[in-house]
Structure 1
Amino acid sequence: MDQLLQHALNAMILGGTYALLGIGLTLIFGIMRVVNFTHGELYAFGAYMMYMWVMLIGANFVLSIVLAVALGVVLGAAIEIVLLRRLRGADIDTTMLVMIGAWIAIQNTEQLVWSGVAKSINSPFPSAPLVVGAISVSWTRLFVFAVAVLLIAATYALIQWTRLGKAMRATFQDREAAALMGVRIDTVHTATFALGSGLAAAAGALLGPVFVVYPTIGDLASLKAFAIVILGGLGSIPGATIGGFILAFMEELGAGYISSGYRDAMGFLLIILILLVKPTGLFARKERIG
């Protein structure tokens, strides 16, 4: 039982960052109908920005997270304005090829700038874990979980209760009708891609100090983000959130009770089984983002 509780705690903490990845991608995919192959690289970008601010510049740890997320938002907005806005109305094949090209370009730029050597990020929290009975958890992971939950709640509040959020939901429901009612579609698309990119960068910035950072770190993160969106259902923020936690639980239990070598396979196996029963995902919503 103690081992099960430990695995459950580890999964909860990891699930928060998975949910950030899933929410960012479901917003972009749901509103813009863009398959964002750069999502994993934005995750890696956030981790590298965290490394730069903390290890090279010596900035405050919390401030570094804020700066990494802000730079992720800026990079996402730049990608949308420079690349995607020019492709508005283009066929999906063209858009996918451009995004794959952007993914390769960003990854190779990271390798050129930072080299292929894995880098670690120091944490200001005590190295000794918090121990409660037979369960232990590092203070860094607790901080990561708290910030992830805060960002999830803030994103949900933005979508539900702000003017921008209403415009995003209207665009998701019917782009043409929203435009006729005065919604500036270009602005909504830029804000959506920037927000999704910022959430991906936040996940990278939070997990950077937990793991190590290297140029291809975003590849698996991108696959997991797509898996979470498919699992939770397109256009559902609660679905992406719950899907992130489900994937984390399956990975943790698979690694703990079967083999660590099957950690990633267990989550994807669950997704296959669920989609065989419910092809639209667990929480698909056709009518709105939220």
Structure 2
Amino acid sequence: MNVDQLLQHLANTLIMGGTYALLGIGLTLIFGIMRVVNFTHGELYAFGAYGLYFVAVVLGMNFYVSILFAIAGGMVLGALIELVLLRPKRGADIDTTMLLMIGAWIVLQNTEHLAWGSIAKSIPSPFPTEPLVIGPISLSWLRIFVFGVAILLIIATYFLINRTRLGNAMRATFQDTDTAALMGVNIRAIYTMTFALGSGLAAAAGALLGPVFVVTPTMGDLASLKAFAIVILGGLGNITGATIGGFILAFVEEIGAGYISSGYRDAMGFLIIIVVLLFRPTGIFARVERIG
């Protein structure tokens, strides 16, 4: 095994793992606190990419400011989904909620088709095309920026969940909704803010990876599957597990693409999910139910 090639794959793993972790954290928050299987998660990821394209390319605004707008837009869309679709059906059986979210997923994807067409969009970045070379490792400045922002967002989410009153209320709601309500927690508001936060993280991942790849209306399908895979790896409600699961999935994909075939990149990721489900169905990092 070539050591230089392995180091390059490890560096690529770190960069992709950060955005995968954002996807996983957002989904595990929604799934853990609200018990909602969020099939729109991938479309919120695509919304973040299209949001960046619209603000940065169509409106011509600053690239960095455009990322903030894309994330904020994802949070607003998530809050609207919770208020308009989920809140009226609170208490409904899981089949009803799942069908509702599948319908929302289809509507969002087709709306993207109507708004932007099926032709892929590219988002130019302000970074130089010459990569940063450190020994045998070559990294584009854009990917370094993506990794840095992803890590900052992960740290900020940890701080929010574990060091703020809102985070305490979210963790209390996760552990026992009825008791949290008796203690004065506004459960409806927590649900809305949870869905908005999870949606914002998905949109952030899309906005960060949009300039790295291309933006298409169907880009959210695979992202959604990967988000569920990360949650399965990390264990339901475990933010640390979702973070580590994101990096594990990125590592398996990168090694599979590098040493087997790039055509099997996504297949390698889901192979490990099958193994986990067979031998540890609660997730590698499963523990006593707890958000944080």
Please, what TM-score do these two structures have when normalized by structure 2?
0.98
Report the secondary structure of 1:125's partner residue: coil
Q: 1:279, 1:287 → 2: CA distance?
A: 15
Report the secondary structure of 1:119's partner residue: coil
Q: Residue 274 of structure 1: CA displacement?
A: 2.2
Q: 1:153, 1:215 → 2: CA distance?
A: 30
Q: 2:287, 2:163 → 1: CA distance?
A: 19
Q: 1:92, 1:287 → 2: CA distance?
A: 20
1:143-222 alignment runs, 5 A limit? 143-222=145-224
Matched residue, 1:43: 45
Report % sequence identity: 76
Please provide the CA RMSD for this pair: 0.6
| Aligned residue pairs, count | 290
Matched residue, 1:266: 268
Matched residue, 2:63: 61
Q: 1:5, 1:125 → 2: CA distance?
A: 23
Q: 2:272, 2:41 → 1: CA distance?
A: 22
Report the secondary structure of 1:106's partner residue: helix
Of 278-287 and 115-124, more deviation after overlay is shown by: 278-287
Q: Does 1:142 align with 2:144?
A: yes
Q: Residue 132 of structure 1: CA displacement?
A: 1.2
Matched residue, 1:19: 21
Q: Residue 275 of structure 1: CA displacement?
A: 2.4
Q: 1:7, 1:219 → 2: CA distance?
A: 25
Q: 1:89, 1:286 → 2: CA distance?
A: 25
Please, what TM-score do these two structures have when normalized by structure 1?
0.99
Q: Residue 287 of structure 1: CA displacement?
A: 3.1
**Which runs of structure 1 show a deviation greater than 4 angstroms over 4 or more consecutive aligned residues?**
none
Matched residue, 1:117: 119
Runs (5+) with no aligned partner, structure 1: none
Matched residue, 2:247: 245
Q: 1:136, 1:57 → 2: CA distance?
A: 33
Q: 1:275, 1:188 → 2: CA distance?
A: 31
Matched residue, 1:73: 75
Matched residue, 2:5: 3
Q: Residue 92 of structure 1: CA displacement?
A: 0.4
Report the secondary structure of 2:217's partner residue: coil
Contact 1:235 1:286 in 2 (8 A): no
Runs (5+) with no aligned partner, structure 2: none
Q: 2:35, 2:287 → 1: CA distance?
A: 15
